[in-house]
Structure 1
Amino acid sequence: MSDEDLAQTLGTQESTTLEFKSTAKREGKRGDVIAQAVCAMANDLCGRGGGDILIGVDDRGEPVDTVDTSDRTLLALTDLRDDGRILDRPSLTVQAARYKGKPVVRLRVETSAAPPVRCDGVVWVRPGPTTRKASREDERVLTERRRSADAPFDTRAVALATIEDLDIELFQRSYLPSVVDPEVIEENGRPLEVQLASCRVTTPGGVPTALGLLTVGLDPSAGIPGAYVQFVRYEGTDLDVPITDEQELRQNLIGTAARLEPLLRSNLRTRVVGEGFRETQRPDYPLEALREVCMNALMHRNYETSYAPTRIVWFEDRIEVTNPGGPFGHVRDDNFDRMTDYRNPSLAGALKGLGYVNRFGRGIGRIRAALERNGNPPPDFQVDASSWAVTLWRAS
């Protein structure tokens, strides 16, 4: 715990950059009030550089008698970064601190590079000392603030792409209700152009982004050459044997996911396991692990500088999934199973909203657990500067 007293450095009254909460209890009448506050600070409507939430201080700016600053509480609050309720993923730190001489918990939230940020599909802002839902004008300001040149690749405009390259019906039917609270859609009646830009599917000027082409594009690989999946099934255990199935999946990610699951299912074989009179059938690979590996490859791959596809190569004894793009950000080849960072943060948020990603930062653990439950050997990961490769071994 730092000796710094936050009352002196942050002030003693709530403002656009400072909010007080008496307890770490997140759920209130409006929902997860702490998550909403984090969302509002990340949106930084007033451009103050983020903000702080102090837990253990009442509305009058006075510290409460008791506040839980245990590691368990700090970890639970840190989970706000990764539980998928706030999208794009916020940058925040959580630590025990002091306020007017008493212990508190400090959540420091940094400004998002790609606003608007949503909590459970709703944009929250803090134009003054209170947090509220964003108005149409608020969302317009946040959307226009996003600078294409400074943003990650997935929110940049795609050269020569036009609105005609997007499946607008798919956007309205599947994408929009998945990432924006349905009540917000109904209440605000935003025009289509604003909805597209607010969801980062287009720039504020109406040009499709990489995210837009990848998620609801009619032919994503026309504007992003590597945006497709190549599936190959071999009859044996090496490349010299005959190919029994070969397909290219060139739809947007919603269409790719719809084709990928039945394709994987059709190639699975089952075996009988058990003891005595109790027998069960198990696949040679658990579908949960296959789905997790493939969706993580599509989420984390490098779409910007590589024209290579994501490849799924199915041999008799193993499956190899490879995708271009080595470790990114804080992730290295020696910590990739413990550290999470995002080359495509808006795409990650979209896949979470669409239900293709269960929880951020848990993919490798879920893969290993699913394989172990099914009786498969542990997976092999090969990570270098330019690519990832995951090998799943067939259960014996």
Structure 2
Amino acid sequence: MGTTFNPELAKASGKNKMPLITFLDKFVDPRLSLKWHSITINSKKVVCLVIDVSFVNIPISFKGGKYIRSGSSVESLSMFHEKERALWASFESSKFELEIAKRNVSIEDIKRLLDIDFYVEKRIDFENENLLTNLLDDHIIEQSGNKFNITNLGAYTLAKNMRDFNNLTNRTLRIIKYDGTKHLDPVTFDRSGMLGIANGFNNIILNIMSLIKYHEDYSSGIRVDIPEFPLIAIRELVANTLVHQDFTINGTRPKIEIFNNKIELYNPGAPLIETNRFLDSEPKSRNNELADLLHKLGVVESRGNGIGRVVDSLESAQLPAMSIIVKGAQDTIVTLRQQKKFNDMTITEQD
């Protein structure tokens, strides 16, 4: 039959008659790459809409609502719990964790490239005579004939030198310290980790704690240096930044920026649950294998209560509540700010 439809001229329904393309950009979240193509078939005009969803890692919403087709009608996704669970599962980036970082390696190569001593020491319920079995069960390696492949999961968590895994060097955590309160101020420290995030985790925390301010406390009769931000909050938030990053997003990495008055933690990707439900929602992870392995290695504790410990530690230190900003599907930024007088805090910080 053909069509006379022109997406460049089309208007959305409603009072404002907003241009259709602008309307979709404004009310569809995350913003999608929409490409309209007009072709002619048998002298008839056909308009095709191509939607690039390769970067989409959360259900798409329209005007804040998420919907699913049920037969010939469109219903709220919240009415179909099993379908919603299946949809969330489809967004997991576990496939990245199980992709291959290095192929056809021997046992000797594995011990040379990965920190197996750390793994043996820290792995919960490790049985020494079953090293290969444990490595295979934890998806650190996979069998490949008479040799093995090291997975991204194994390399990212246990690498002795991340430069040995070219596809992962731009995924390591970057720490930047500014001598001031703005990005334009001089940089005094800028380093990206070269160890795996498990065997290098304590070094990450030590670096951060060495870059923040301390104050002297004599309440116990002796001098005690108290960090401006609680160690437990730093540990939990760094672990969250690493565990919950979206590996499907290219060209970005987890990052921590330390200023004289705050710390900002950048995590590639949007969270899988609403930020105002972090404390009372069941935990959801897009990287289940990574979260499970870090738990087995003692880097993270039981899943789901880390944010609660952060909140408690900030309250005990009389610090403002952390702020969480989600920038579309690309970034989540968590900010810790230094101590303020209550009257100087924003309403969000007072909560």
Do both proteins adopt the same fold according to a TM-score greater than 0.5, normalized to the shorter chain? yes
CA distance in 2 between counterparts of 1:350 and 1:199 reads 7
Distance 1:181 1:277, change over 3 A: closer
Counterpart of 2:323?
380
**Is the counterpart of residue 391 in structure 1 residue 335 in structure 2?**
yes
Letter in structure 1 aligned against 2:138: C
Counterpart of 2:205?
261
Q: Structure 2 stretches of 5 or more lacking a match?
A: 1-91, 341-351
Counterpart of 1:282?
226
Distance 1:243 1:169, change over 3 A: closer
Counterpart of 1:208?
150
Q: Any idea what the Cα deviations from partners look like across 1:135-188, whole Å, max 9, x if unmatched?
A: xxxxxxxxxxxxxxx982254222654537744585532214533524xx24xx
Alignment of 1:184-263 (within 5 A): 185-186=127-128, 189-190=129-130, 193-205=132-144, 206-220=148-162, 222-263=166-207
The Cα of 1:267 is off from its aligned counterpart by 1.5
Counterpart of 1:292?
236
The Cα of 1:319 is off from its aligned counterpart by 0.5
The Cα of 1:308 is off from its aligned counterpart by 1.2
SS in 1 for 2:316: helix
Letter in structure 2 aligned against 1:201: I
Q: Structure 1 stretches of 5 or more lacking a match?
A: 1-149
Q: Say what the alpha-carbon RMSD is for the aligned residues.
A: 3.0
**Is the counterpart of residue 367 in structure 1 residue 310 in structure 2?**
yes
Letter in structure 2 aligned against 1:349: D
| Contact 1:167/1:218, CA 8 A, preserved across alignment | no
Q: Any idea what the Cα deviations from partners look like across 1:19-46, whole Å, max 9, x if unmatched?
A: xxxxxxxxxxxxxxxxxxxxxxxxxxxx
Alignment counterpart, residue 291 of structure 2, candidates 322, 345, 348: 348
Q: Percent identity?
A: 23
Alignment of 1:176-191 (within 5 A): 176-182=120-126, 185-186=127-128, 189-190=129-130
TM-score (structure 2 length as normaliser) = 0.61
The Cα of 1:280 is off from its aligned counterpart by 6.0
CA distance in 2 between counterparts of 1:241 and 1:151 reads 36
| Contact 1:166/1:213, CA 8 A, preserved across alignment | no
TM-score (structure 1 length as normaliser) = 0.54
| Contact 2:264/2:335, CA 8 A, preserved across alignment | yes
CA distance in 1 between counterparts of 2:274 and 2:253 reads 22
Q: Any idea what the Cα deviations from partners look like across 1:326-357, whole Å, max 9, x if unmatched?
A: 123xx234433433111111111111122111
The Cα of 1:364 is off from its aligned counterpart by 1.2
Counterpart of 2:262?
318
Distance 1:195 1:301, change over 3 A: same
The Cα of 1:307 is off from its aligned counterpart by 3.3
Counting matched residue pairs gives 241
| Contact 2:172/2:192, CA 8 A, preserved across alignment | yes
* Range with greater deviation from structure 2 (286-295 or 270-279): 270-279
The Cα of 1:219 is off from its aligned counterpart by 3.9
The Cα of 1:393 is off from its aligned counterpart by 0.4
The Cα of 1:325 is off from its aligned counterpart by 1.6
CA distance in 2 between counterparts of 1:355 and 1:300 reads 17
Distance 1:194 1:283, change over 3 A: closer
Letter in structure 2 aligned against 1:215: T
Distance 1:352 1:394, change over 3 A: same
Counterpart of 2:117?
173
